[in-house]
Amino acid sequence: MGRTHALTGWCAGLAIAPAVGAGSVHQAVVFAATTAGFALLPDLDHPGASASRLLGWLTGALSWVLRRVSAGFYALTKGPRDENVTGKHRHLSHTVLFAAGLGALTSWATETGGPWAVVGVVIFGLMLAEGALGDWLLPVSGAAVAWWFFTAPPDRAGELESITGWLGIAVAAGCLTHCLGDALTEAGCPFLFPVPIAGETWYEIRPPKVLRFRTGKKVEKRLIFPVFALAGILLIPGVWQYTSSTFQRLFIPPTSQQATTP
């Protein structure tokens, strides 16, 4: 479901952020919020998805175009053993190629478009994530931006330039996280297209049957979502260290040192 995709995207963003140089709290939060939002974008190929309804007729039209392009692309590339389906949902936008392409396009657009392009991508990601996770994300992200504004060095343009460097990675990571999440469901996800597997060009990757779950059912609601909700808090820079030190201070008594005489 949408909120699980957004939450896993948030966790993936927080985990990846230090590796791309977004190590401070405000940078990690903005990076993770962007990843959370774009973890919903692949479902733009479904008319009922939150991404398709986000901006009314505009995203609805984009959804319509994406479904037609995906169906045509599937008809041209499907192998003899691929299923006889329309190819509209969970196909073109649910691939590593789509994630990499959208990430590269984002990097190019933000590098050539300047600060306003950066702000536009971040705000769009926030809007997507807020629609799935709830209104709490806006004040948290707003606080991170305000913190950055008042604590960043005087060269804020340089700070925006550093954001430009990893924004494409955030977008690609969000889309890829979505694909990995769909791959755990019973339907699977053909995200390795066009690698041929078992004679299929669009082979649905999924784990053994015992590890799959049905979308929106008990496993997702009562296990997966709570686990990632907890992880999404602990992965915020500094939270795990603070939690760990507090736990040790409250529940683990200090080792007594016995004085020794020479």
Task: From 129, 154, 161, select the one nearest 142 (Cα to Cα).
Answer: 129
Task: From 69, 8, 17, select the one nearest 37 (Cα to Cα).
Answer: 8
Band of the pLDDT at 131, cuts 50, 70, 90?
A: confident
* Whole-structure pTM value: 0.82
Position 217 scores a pLDDT of 63
Q: Which has more confidence, 38 or 79?
A: 38
Indicate whether 58 pLDDT > 80: yes
Q: Which has more confidence, 35 or 146?
A: 35
Mean of all residue pLDDT scores within the chain: 81
* Token pair in block for residue 102: 């959208």
Band of the pLDDT at 66, cuts 50, 70, 90?
A: very high
First to last CA, the chain: 68
Position 256 scores a pLDDT of 44
Residue type, 141: S
Band of the pLDDT at 21, cuts 50, 70, 90?
A: confident
